[in-house]
């Protein structure tokens, strides 16, 4: 697969570059060093540089390093640096040796002081299981490594564990868990600033989408990735992404888009200067898929020229498994176009024998074509076996894809990107600091709001208190005014009563004058009448004062009982200031009985019960 080969090529160019001079210098230093700890340090540097240079001598020096480290009881160093030797055995397909070394070193677990020591060994043992196609055990060890790396704060290795675990789930066709692990790996790589690895994993995830029927989504997602790669001026990543694109366009039969992408691919590859191996691989990859395209369009002349180049590429003995698979596929479509069954059959048989290239669709097509050839030749048993196998495989693939699509939509993975929960320790600490700052800021805001609220409450409280004081003062003035008015009314009432008695006296004098009694003259009666005129003026003043004192009362009484007459209101006002029936009668120059009848009439208008007193009701208002 393109992305995996690109990853290996980019890794090779990253770690290579240590000269033989450096290695020879370290050997010289080692020979002159007697101190065990110093020898251990030099041995470690030498073995690691030999590993990065791809030198087989690394096995010898790593074994010496592990033996000396064990003698010095440096168990954490054993676990950390042994991973290079384990990887050496994996690369050389010595899986049993690699697993035995992992298991033996894991026995030192009680002596480890770092969680990462066990994690490195689990990560490498998972790699052994992965290469042995034992994905269940690989996933278990990857999960264990993830947890331990997170505890130790080795975030970059934790991200690697998520990435490799995603690949194991993908090879198991466990789509949902593969996407989950890939997403976590991408998130952590981005947080750590490793955009190269983030794009590699994201690109591999688009291939996973494509294999599970989400071809359109894969193409759409790669647009975003390609934009990022362009912004980062990363030609390697651009080539990887565009290469995956024209594979999908070939799959869906969009040959025009495939050709356009191949052209873009070659332009990008021309800009790769720092990685000759990758550049050469990409050129070969483009030639193979140009042949695919020419055969699909039945352009025989172009196909013949490209086939010559493909044959030259196939002569390279150091080509990868993935490249070999692509070469066989290109040869197959060419020989089929040329109807050369003699050459086509061995190619198809070889293509079916490949495993773990994630090219099931290519293998299914090869098997179907071979079955048709066997049928033409009369080899019906072989043909039926191949067709039956294909039928079961196709049913299994289709069923898995349907289930994966269902799980995908059920989990809402169709969104642009599911928000990634960052699990590495550094990010958690940073997030905790942010949250702490936010909480502190929130507390400050709450305190400020509380202070402002208290100030506002205090302001309104003081203002209301001042209003209450002012109102109380106004009430005192009003009460004093009412008291003064009341005293004036009482004085006027006293004087009025005296004047009423004066009227009675005038009447008596007039009676005596009519009877021609002695001592009563007309002059004296006229003097009394003049005094009575003053009495009328004072009586009017009394009524005005009563109306002022009872202003609010009279207003409320009129609102509640608009049917009351002016006389009714006047009687109620006089009763409110405490005058008796007799005093009201004298003041109004009427009889007590007339006042009583008026009170009865008023009670009816007020709808008062018989036992309810008029004075009580008036005073209650």
Taking the CA of residue 469 as centre, how many other CA atoms within 13 Å lie in the half-sphere pointing to its CB?
A: 6
- Confidence at residue 406, expressed as pLDDT on a 0 to 100 scale: 44
Phi, psi of 174 (to 5 degrees): -95, 80
Q: Please tell me the predicted confidence (pLDDT) of residue 413.
A: 42
Q: Please measure the distance between the N-terminal and C-terminal CA atoms of the chain and give it in whole angstroms.
A: 100
pLDDT recorded at residue 500: 56
Asked whether the beta carbons of 85 and 118 are under 8 A apart, the reply is no
3-state secondary structure of 73: coil
Rounded CA-CA distance 481/468 in Å is 19
Q: What are phi and psi of 341, to 5 degrees?
A: -70, -30
Low-confidence ranges of the chain (pLDDT < 70): 1-21, 355-359, 393, 395-433, 435-436, 439, 469-549
Please say whether the beta carbons of 195 and 189 come within 8 A. yes
Helical spans, DSSP H, in 212-320: 215-231, 235-252, 255-269, 276-296, 300-314
DSSP-derived letter for residue 17 is -
Q: Report the distance separating Cα 374 and Cα 531, nearest Å.
A: 152
Helix axes 115-131, 95-106, angle to 10 degrees: 160
pLDDT of residue 99: 94
202: closest CA among 216, 223, 174? Answer: 223
Please state the pTM of the whole predicted model: 0.58
Are 175 and 183 within 8 A, CB to CB? no
* DSSP-derived 3-state class of residue 212: coil
d(CA 167, CA 472): 86
pLDDT single digits (tens) 530-560: 445 445 555 555 566 566 667 788 888 888 8
Q: Are 269 and 246 in contact (CB under 8 A)?
A: no
Any idea what DSSP says for residue 579?
A: -
pLDDT score for 490: 56
Integer Cα distance of 479 and 468 in angstroms: 16
Nearest alpha-carbon partner for 327 in 359, 369, 375 = 359
CA angle 184, 186, 189 (to 5 degrees): 110
Q: How far apart are CA 207 and CA 201, in angstroms?
A: 10
Cα gap 422→53, rounded to integer Å: 35
d(CA 163, CA 168): 9
Instruction: Using CB atoms within 10 Å of the CB of residue 231, give its burial: 0 to 12 exposed, 13 to 18 middle, 19+ buried.
Output: exposed
CA–CA dist 197, 188 (Å, integer): 10
At residue 536's C-alpha, the angle toward residues 530 and 541, to 5°, is: 135
Residue 229 to residues 4, 179, 286: CA-CA distances in angstroms? 17, 21, 20
Contact 115, 152 (CB under 8 A): yes
What value does the CA radius of gyration of the chain take, rounded to a whole number of Å? 55
> What count of other Cβ atoms lies within 10 Å of the Cβ of residue 403?
14
């Amino acid at each position: 697969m393109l992305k995996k080969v690109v990853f290996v090529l980019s890794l090779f160019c990253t770690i290579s570059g240590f000269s033989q001079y450096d290695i020879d210098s370290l050997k010289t230093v080692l020979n002159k060093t007697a101190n065990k700890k110093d020898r251990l340090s030099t041995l470690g540097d030498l073995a690691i540089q030999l590993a990065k240079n791809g030198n087989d001598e690394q096995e010898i020096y790593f074994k010496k390093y592990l033996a000396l480290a064990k003698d010095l009881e440096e168990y954490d160093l054993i676990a950390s640096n042994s991973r290079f030797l384990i990887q050496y055995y994996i690369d050389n397909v010595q899986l049993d040796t690699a697993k035995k070394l992992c298991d033996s070193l894991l026995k030192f677990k009680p002596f480890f002081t770092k969680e990462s020591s066990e994690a490195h060994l689990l990560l490498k043992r998972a790699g052994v299981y992965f290469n042995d196609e034992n994905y269940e055990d690989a996933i278990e060890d990857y999960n264990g490594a993830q947890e331990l790396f997170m505890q130790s704060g080795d975030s970059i290795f934790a991200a690697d564990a998520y990435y490799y675990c995603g690949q194991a789930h993908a090879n198991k066709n466990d789509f949902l868990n593969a996407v989950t692990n890939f997403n976590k790996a991408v998130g952590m790589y981005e947080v750590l600033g490793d955009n190269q690895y983030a794009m590699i994993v994201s690109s591999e995830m688009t291939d996973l989408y494509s294999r599970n029927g989400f071809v359109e989504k894969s193409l759409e997602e790669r647009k975003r990735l390609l934009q990022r790669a362009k912004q980062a001026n990363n030609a390697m990543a651009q080539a990887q992404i565009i290469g995956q694109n024209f594979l999908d366009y070939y799959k869906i039969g969009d040959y025009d888009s495939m050709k356009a992408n191949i052209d873009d691919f070659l332009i990008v590859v021309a800009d790769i200067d720092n990685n000759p191996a990758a550049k050469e691989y990409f050129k070969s990859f483009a030639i193979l898929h140009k042949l695919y395209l020419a055969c699909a369009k039945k352009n025989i002349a172009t196909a013949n020229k490209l086939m010559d180049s493909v044959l030259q590429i196939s002569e390279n003995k150091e080509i990868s498994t993935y490249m070999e698979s692509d070469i066989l596929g290109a040869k197959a479509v060419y020989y089929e176009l040329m109807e050369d069954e003699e050459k086509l059959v061995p190619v198809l048989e070889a293509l079916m024998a490949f495993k773990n290239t994630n090219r099931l669709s290519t293998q299914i097509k090869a098997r179907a074509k071979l079955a048709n050839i066997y049928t033409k030749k009369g080899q019906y048993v072989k043909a039926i076996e191949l067709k039956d196998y294909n039928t079961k495989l196709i049913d299994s693939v289709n069923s898995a894809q349907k289930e994966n699509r269902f799980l995908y939509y059920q989990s809402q993975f169709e969104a642009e990107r599911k928000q990634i929960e960052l699990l590495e320790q550094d990010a958690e600490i940073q997030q905790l600091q942010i949250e702490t700052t936010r909480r502190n800021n929130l507390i400050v805001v709450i305190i400020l709001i509380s202070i402002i609220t208290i100030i506002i409450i205090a302001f309104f409280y003081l203002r209301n208190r001042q209003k209450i004081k002012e109102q109380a003062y106004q009430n005192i003035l009003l009460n004093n005014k009412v008291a003064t008015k009341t005293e004036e009314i009482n004085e006027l009432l006293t004087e009025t009563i005296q004047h009423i008695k004066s009227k009675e006296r005038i009447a008596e004098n007039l009676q005596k004058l009519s009877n021609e009694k002695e001592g009563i003259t007309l002059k004296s009666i006229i003097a009394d009448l003049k005094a009575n005129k003053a009495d009328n003026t004072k009586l009017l003043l009394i009524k005005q004062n009563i109306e002022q004192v009872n202003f609010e009362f009279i207003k409320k009484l009129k609102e509640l009982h608009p049917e009351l007459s002016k006389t009714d209101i006047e009687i109620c006002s006089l009763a409110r200031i405490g005058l008796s029936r007799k005093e009201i009668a004298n003041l109004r120059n009427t009889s007590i009985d007339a006042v009583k009848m008026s009170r009865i009439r008023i009670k009816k208008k007020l709808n008062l019960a018989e036992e309810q007193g008029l004075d009580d009701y008036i005073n209650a208002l």
